[in-house]
Structure 1
Protein backbone atom coordinates (compact mmCIF):
# COMPACT_ATOMS: atom_id res chain seq x y z
CA UNK A 1 0.00 0.00 0.00
CA UNK A 2 1.35 3.41 -0.98
CA UNK A 3 0.54 6.82 0.42
CA UNK A 4 0.48 10.23 -1.25
CA UNK A 5 0.35 13.33 0.92
CA UNK A 6 0.32 17.12 0.61
CA UNK A 7 -0.48 19.93 3.02
CA UNK A 8 -0.55 23.69 3.22
CA UNK A 9 -1.49 26.65 5.37
CA UNK A 10 -4.39 28.73 4.07
CA UNK A 11 -4.63 32.27 5.52
CA UNK A 12 -8.33 32.02 6.39
CA UNK A 13 -10.40 30.54 9.23
CA UNK A 14 -10.98 26.78 9.14
CA UNK A 15 -14.76 27.19 8.82
CA UNK A 16 -14.30 29.44 5.78
CA UNK A 17 -11.98 26.96 4.07
CA UNK A 18 -14.15 23.98 5.02
CA UNK A 19 -17.23 25.66 3.54
CA UNK A 20 -15.45 25.63 0.17
CA UNK A 21 -13.95 22.14 0.38
CA UNK A 22 -16.99 20.30 1.79
CA UNK A 23 -18.95 20.72 -1.46
CA UNK A 24 -18.25 17.34 -3.07
CA UNK A 25 -19.44 18.79 -6.40
CA UNK A 26 -17.42 22.01 -6.05
CA UNK A 27 -13.89 21.04 -7.14
CA UNK A 28 -14.08 22.96 -10.44
CA UNK A 29 -14.62 26.21 -8.51
CA UNK A 30 -11.16 26.00 -6.94
CA UNK A 31 -9.05 23.16 -8.43
CA UNK A 32 -7.60 24.24 -11.77
CA UNK A 33 -7.12 20.63 -12.91
CA UNK A 34 -10.86 19.93 -12.89
CA UNK A 35 -12.98 21.17 -15.81
CA UNK A 36 -16.40 19.85 -14.73
CA UNK A 37 -18.12 17.94 -11.96
CA UNK A 38 -21.56 16.43 -11.62
CA UNK A 39 -23.27 14.29 -9.00
CA UNK A 40 -24.94 11.19 -10.40
CA UNK A 41 -28.70 10.76 -10.09
CA UNK A 42 -29.22 14.36 -8.89
CA UNK A 43 -28.32 13.44 -5.31
CA UNK A 44 -27.16 16.14 -2.87
CA UNK A 45 -23.36 16.61 -2.89
CA UNK A 46 -23.13 16.10 0.86
CA UNK A 47 -24.93 12.75 0.90
CA UNK A 48 -22.51 9.99 1.90
CA UNK A 49 -22.64 7.43 -0.87
CA UNK A 50 -23.19 9.90 -3.70
CA UNK A 51 -20.97 9.54 -6.73
CA UNK A 52 -19.40 12.42 -8.62
CA UNK A 53 -18.06 12.36 -12.13
CA UNK A 54 -15.11 14.66 -12.69
CA UNK A 55 -13.85 15.71 -16.09
CA UNK A 56 -10.21 16.72 -16.00
CA UNK A 57 -8.77 19.53 -18.10
CA UNK A 58 -7.28 16.92 -20.47
CA UNK A 59 -10.72 15.36 -20.99
CA UNK A 60 -10.14 12.26 -18.85
CA UNK A 61 -12.96 11.23 -16.55
CA UNK A 62 -12.95 9.99 -12.94
CA UNK A 63 -15.84 8.68 -10.85
CA UNK A 64 -15.53 9.02 -7.08
CA UNK A 65 -17.79 7.94 -4.22
CA UNK A 66 -18.16 10.03 -1.06
CA UNK A 67 -17.37 7.64 1.79
CA UNK A 68 -17.50 10.03 4.76
CA UNK A 69 -18.22 13.69 5.43
CA UNK A 70 -17.82 15.26 8.86
CA UNK A 71 -18.50 18.91 9.58
CA UNK A 72 -17.31 18.35 13.16
CA UNK A 73 -13.91 17.05 12.00
CA UNK A 74 -13.95 19.15 8.81
CA UNK A 75 -13.00 16.11 6.75
CA UNK A 76 -14.19 14.03 3.83
CA UNK A 77 -13.10 10.73 2.39
CA UNK A 78 -13.78 9.30 -1.03
CA UNK A 79 -12.64 6.50 -3.30
CA UNK A 80 -12.27 5.83 -7.00
CA UNK A 81 -15.14 4.04 -8.66
CA UNK A 82 -13.45 4.44 -12.06
CA UNK A 83 -10.28 6.25 -13.04
CA UNK A 84 -7.62 6.40 -15.76
CA UNK A 85 -4.90 5.88 -13.14
CA UNK A 86 -3.27 2.42 -12.81
CA UNK A 87 -4.15 2.00 -9.12
CA UNK A 88 -6.46 -0.12 -6.97
CA UNK A 89 -7.95 0.36 -3.53
CA UNK A 90 -7.61 4.16 -3.78
CA UNK A 91 -9.04 6.08 -0.82
CA UNK A 92 -8.40 9.77 -0.20
CA UNK A 93 -9.07 12.13 2.69
CA UNK A 94 -9.20 15.92 2.65
CA UNK A 95 -9.12 17.61 6.05
CA UNK A 96 -9.08 21.17 7.42
CA UNK A 97 -7.74 21.99 10.88
CA UNK A 98 -7.64 25.39 12.58
CA UNK A 99 -4.24 26.93 13.20
CA UNK A 100 -4.50 28.28 16.72
CA UNK A 101 -1.71 30.82 16.28
CA UNK A 102 -3.49 33.25 13.96
CA UNK A 103 -6.44 33.25 11.64
CA UNK A 104 -5.39 30.39 9.38
CA UNK A 105 -6.09 26.77 8.46
CA UNK A 106 -3.96 23.70 8.03
CA UNK A 107 -5.25 21.69 5.08
CA UNK A 108 -4.05 18.18 4.29
CA UNK A 109 -4.93 15.87 1.43
CA UNK A 110 -3.81 12.28 1.40
CA UNK A 111 -4.54 8.98 -0.29
CA UNK A 112 -3.63 5.36 0.09
CA UNK A 113 -3.63 3.06 -2.91
CA UNK A 114 -2.13 -0.05 -4.41
CA UNK A 115 -0.19 0.05 -7.66
CA UNK A 116 2.19 -2.19 -9.55
CA UNK A 117 5.75 -1.69 -8.34
CA UNK A 118 6.65 -0.17 -11.71
CA UNK A 119 3.88 2.48 -11.33
CA UNK A 120 4.06 3.12 -7.58
CA UNK A 121 6.52 6.05 -7.46
CA UNK A 122 4.95 7.77 -10.46
CA UNK A 123 1.45 7.48 -9.00
CA UNK A 124 2.58 8.73 -5.60
CA UNK A 125 4.15 11.75 -7.33
CA UNK A 126 1.11 12.30 -9.55
CA UNK A 127 -1.28 12.35 -6.61
CA UNK A 128 0.92 14.21 -4.09
CA UNK A 129 2.19 16.90 -6.44
CA UNK A 130 0.06 16.86 -9.58
CA UNK A 131 -3.33 16.57 -7.88
CA UNK A 132 -3.09 17.41 -4.18
CA UNK A 133 -0.41 20.10 -3.97
CA UNK A 134 -1.53 21.83 -7.16
CA UNK A 135 -5.09 21.73 -5.83
CA UNK A 136 -4.08 23.13 -2.46
CA UNK A 137 -2.12 25.92 -4.18
CA UNK A 138 -5.21 26.72 -6.26
CA UNK A 139 -7.36 26.61 -3.10
CA UNK A 140 -5.17 29.26 -1.46
CA UNK A 141 -5.56 31.50 -4.51
CA UNK A 142 -9.32 30.93 -4.59
CA UNK A 143 -9.71 31.73 -0.89
CA UNK A 144 -7.61 34.89 -1.28
CA UNK A 145 -9.79 36.08 -4.18
CA UNK A 146 -13.08 35.36 -2.41
CA UNK A 147 -11.93 37.10 0.77
CA UNK A 148 -11.04 40.25 -1.19
CA UNK A 149 -14.41 40.35 -2.97
Structure 2
Protein backbone atom coordinates (compact mmCIF):
# COMPACT_ATOMS: atom_id res chain seq x y z
CA UNK A 1 0.00 0.00 0.00
CA UNK A 2 2.78 2.42 0.92
CA UNK A 3 4.62 1.67 -2.34
CA UNK A 4 1.47 2.36 -4.34
CA UNK A 5 0.91 5.66 -2.53
CA UNK A 6 4.52 6.67 -3.09
CA UNK A 7 4.28 5.73 -6.78
CA UNK A 8 1.08 7.74 -7.15
CA UNK A 9 2.68 10.79 -5.51
CA UNK A 10 5.72 10.53 -7.78
CA UNK A 11 3.47 10.38 -10.83
CA UNK A 12 1.42 13.37 -9.69
CA UNK A 13 4.32 15.58 -8.69
CA UNK A 14 6.64 14.33 -11.41
CA UNK A 15 4.23 15.23 -14.20
CA UNK A 16 3.09 18.54 -12.75
CA UNK A 17 6.30 20.19 -13.91
CA UNK A 18 5.47 19.11 -17.45
CA UNK A 19 2.43 21.40 -17.33
CA UNK A 20 4.43 24.39 -16.08
CA UNK A 21 6.12 26.51 -18.68
CA UNK A 22 8.25 29.57 -18.78
CA UNK A 23 7.72 32.63 -20.92
CA UNK A 24 7.58 32.60 -24.69
CA UNK A 25 9.00 35.41 -26.79
CA UNK A 26 6.45 38.06 -27.70
CA UNK A 27 6.56 40.31 -30.74
CA UNK A 28 5.24 43.74 -31.55
CA UNK A 29 5.45 45.73 -34.77
CA UNK A 30 4.17 49.26 -35.29
CA UNK A 31 4.31 51.30 -38.49
CA UNK A 32 3.65 54.90 -39.44
CA UNK A 33 3.56 56.77 -42.75
CA UNK A 34 5.13 60.22 -42.73
CA UNK A 35 4.91 62.97 -45.33
CA UNK A 36 8.65 63.52 -45.51
CA UNK A 37 11.58 62.05 -47.36
CA UNK A 38 13.31 59.02 -45.87
CA UNK A 39 16.48 61.11 -45.60
CA UNK A 40 14.71 63.81 -43.58
CA UNK A 41 13.06 61.26 -41.27
CA UNK A 42 16.35 59.39 -40.84
CA UNK A 43 18.06 62.67 -39.93
CA UNK A 44 15.83 62.70 -36.83
CA UNK A 45 15.55 59.02 -35.85
CA UNK A 46 18.95 57.95 -37.12
CA UNK A 47 20.70 59.49 -34.12
CA UNK A 48 20.49 56.71 -31.53
CA UNK A 49 20.60 59.11 -28.57
CA UNK A 50 18.07 61.58 -30.02
CA UNK A 51 14.92 59.80 -28.80
CA UNK A 52 13.78 62.68 -26.59
CA UNK A 53 13.55 64.96 -29.63
CA UNK A 54 10.59 63.05 -31.03
CA UNK A 55 9.18 60.61 -28.47
CA UNK A 56 6.47 62.17 -26.26
CA UNK A 57 7.01 59.72 -23.36
CA UNK A 58 10.74 60.45 -23.09
CA UNK A 59 11.90 63.26 -20.80
CA UNK A 60 15.60 62.96 -21.61
CA UNK A 61 17.93 60.70 -23.56
CA UNK A 62 21.71 60.71 -23.31
CA UNK A 63 24.15 58.48 -25.08
CA UNK A 64 27.74 57.34 -25.31
CA UNK A 65 29.45 55.88 -28.35
CA UNK A 66 27.48 57.73 -31.03
CA UNK A 67 25.90 55.50 -33.66
CA UNK A 68 28.45 52.71 -33.50
CA UNK A 69 27.77 49.15 -32.36
CA UNK A 70 28.31 49.04 -28.62
CA UNK A 71 26.94 52.55 -28.03
CA UNK A 72 24.51 53.00 -25.14
CA UNK A 73 21.65 55.35 -24.45
CA UNK A 74 19.95 56.11 -21.17
CA UNK A 75 16.29 56.98 -21.50
CA UNK A 76 14.54 58.88 -18.74
CA UNK A 77 10.80 58.46 -19.05
CA UNK A 78 8.35 61.20 -18.13
CA UNK A 79 6.75 58.63 -15.84
CA UNK A 80 9.97 58.65 -13.81
CA UNK A 81 11.59 55.39 -14.92
CA UNK A 82 14.98 54.92 -16.52
CA UNK A 83 15.91 52.43 -19.26
CA UNK A 84 19.39 51.69 -20.62
CA UNK A 85 19.72 50.29 -24.14
CA UNK A 86 22.70 49.12 -26.17
CA UNK A 87 23.15 49.55 -29.92
CA UNK A 88 23.91 46.25 -31.67
CA UNK A 89 23.84 47.15 -35.37
CA UNK A 90 23.68 50.44 -37.25
CA UNK A 91 23.22 50.73 -41.02
CA UNK A 92 23.18 54.38 -42.11
CA UNK A 93 22.80 53.55 -45.82
CA UNK A 94 19.93 51.16 -45.11
CA UNK A 95 18.41 53.60 -42.57
CA UNK A 96 18.02 50.98 -39.85
CA UNK A 97 19.41 50.08 -36.46
CA UNK A 98 18.94 47.28 -33.96
CA UNK A 99 19.32 47.66 -30.21
CA UNK A 100 18.57 45.75 -27.01
CA UNK A 101 17.69 46.34 -23.40
CA UNK A 102 21.04 46.61 -21.59
CA UNK A 103 19.80 47.05 -18.02
CA UNK A 104 16.48 45.63 -16.90
CA UNK A 105 14.08 47.93 -15.04
CA UNK A 106 10.75 46.14 -14.72
CA UNK A 107 9.37 48.92 -12.52
CA UNK A 108 9.71 51.35 -15.44
CA UNK A 109 8.86 48.93 -18.24
CA UNK A 110 7.31 45.46 -17.70
CA UNK A 111 9.78 43.46 -19.80
CA UNK A 112 12.84 41.49 -18.75
CA UNK A 113 14.64 41.72 -22.08
CA UNK A 114 14.08 42.88 -25.63
CA UNK A 115 15.70 43.41 -28.97
CA UNK A 116 14.23 46.03 -31.29
CA UNK A 117 14.77 47.36 -34.79
CA UNK A 118 13.79 50.74 -36.18
CA UNK A 119 13.77 51.16 -39.98
CA UNK A 120 12.95 54.09 -42.28
CA UNK A 121 12.06 53.24 -45.85
CA UNK A 122 10.63 55.04 -48.86
CA UNK A 123 6.86 55.03 -49.31
CA UNK A 124 4.48 56.43 -51.92
CA UNK A 125 3.88 59.68 -50.07
CA UNK A 126 7.16 60.06 -48.23
CA UNK A 127 8.40 57.55 -45.70
CA UNK A 128 7.32 54.55 -43.74
CA UNK A 129 8.86 53.91 -40.33
CA UNK A 130 8.71 50.40 -38.92
CA UNK A 131 9.54 49.74 -35.28
CA UNK A 132 9.48 46.12 -34.16
CA UNK A 133 10.68 44.12 -31.18
CA UNK A 134 10.96 40.67 -29.73
CA UNK A 135 10.80 40.56 -25.94
CA UNK A 136 10.02 38.64 -22.76
CA UNK A 137 7.63 39.68 -20.01
CA UNK A 138 8.90 41.18 -16.75
CA UNK A 139 8.23 38.10 -14.64
CA UNK A 140 9.72 35.06 -16.37
CA UNK A 141 8.27 32.64 -13.81
CA UNK A 142 5.42 30.29 -14.55
CA UNK A 143 2.73 32.35 -12.81
CA UNK A 144 3.48 36.05 -13.29
CA UNK A 145 1.51 38.83 -11.66
CA UNK A 146 -0.96 40.56 -13.95
CA UNK A 147 1.18 43.70 -14.25
CA UNK A 148 4.22 41.62 -15.28
CA UNK A 149 2.69 39.04 -17.62
CA UNK A 150 2.73 38.72 -21.41
CA UNK A 151 -0.32 40.97 -21.83
CA UNK A 152 1.28 43.75 -19.78
CA UNK A 153 4.54 43.46 -21.73
CA UNK A 154 2.76 43.53 -25.09
CA UNK A 155 0.61 46.50 -24.07
CA UNK A 156 3.60 48.47 -22.79
CA UNK A 157 5.79 47.80 -25.82
CA UNK A 158 2.95 48.52 -28.27
CA UNK A 159 2.03 51.76 -26.50
CA UNK A 160 5.66 52.92 -26.34
CA UNK A 161 6.21 52.26 -30.06
CA UNK A 162 2.84 53.67 -31.16
CA UNK A 163 3.22 56.84 -29.08
CA UNK A 164 6.76 57.28 -30.35
CA UNK A 165 5.84 56.85 -34.00
CA UNK A 166 2.89 59.22 -33.64
CA UNK A 167 5.23 61.74 -32.00
CA UNK A 168 7.75 61.32 -34.82
CA UNK A 169 5.04 61.91 -37.42
CA UNK A 170 3.87 65.04 -35.64
CA UNK A 171 7.45 66.33 -35.27
CA UNK A 172 8.31 65.70 -38.93
CA UNK A 173 5.11 67.07 -40.40
CA UNK A 174 5.25 70.22 -38.23
CA UNK A 175 8.61 71.03 -39.86
CA UNK A 176 7.15 71.11 -43.35
TM (norm. structure 2) is 0.75
Q: Of the two, which has the highest radius of gyration?
A: 2
Report if the CA contact (8 A) 2:110-2:156 is conserved.
Answer: no
Out of 167, 172, 175, the position equivalent to 1:138 is 167
Report if the CA contact (8 A) 2:110-2:152 is conserved.
Answer: no
Structure 1 runs (4+) deviating above 6 angstroms are none
Higher RCO (CA < 8 A, seq sep 6+): 1
- 2:96 maps to 1:66: no
How far has the Cα of 1:89 moved from its partner? 3.6
Out of 17, 21, 34, the position equivalent to 2:58 is 34
Report if the CA contact (8 A) 2:121-2:129 is conserved.
Answer: yes
Q: How does 1:60-99 map to 2 (within 5 A)?
A: 60-82=81-103, 83-84=105-106, 85-99=109-123
Out of 155, 163, 167, the position equivalent to 1:125 is 155
Q: Give me the CA root mean square deviation.
A: 1.4
The structure carrying a bigger strand percent of its residues is: 1
How far has the Cα of 1:75 moved from its partner? 0.6
Give unmatched runs, 5+ long, in structure 2. Answer: 1-24
- CA offset digits 1:61-100 (Å, max 9, x no partner): 000001111112211111001133343341000111101x
Q: How many residues matched?
A: 141
Report if the CA contact (8 A) 1:65-1:81 is conserved.
Answer: yes
Partner of residue 132, structure 2? 110
Give unmatched runs, 5+ long, in structure 1. Answer: none
1:39 is paired with a residue whose SS is strand
Task: Give distance in 2, aligned partners of 1:10 and 1:125.
Answer: 24
Partner of residue 55, structure 1? 76
Bigger drift between 26-35 and 81-90 goes to 81-90
- CA offset digits 1:41-71 (Å, max 9, x no partner): xx3x212101111100011000000111111
2:175 is paired with a residue whose SS is helix
TM (norm. structure 1) is 0.88
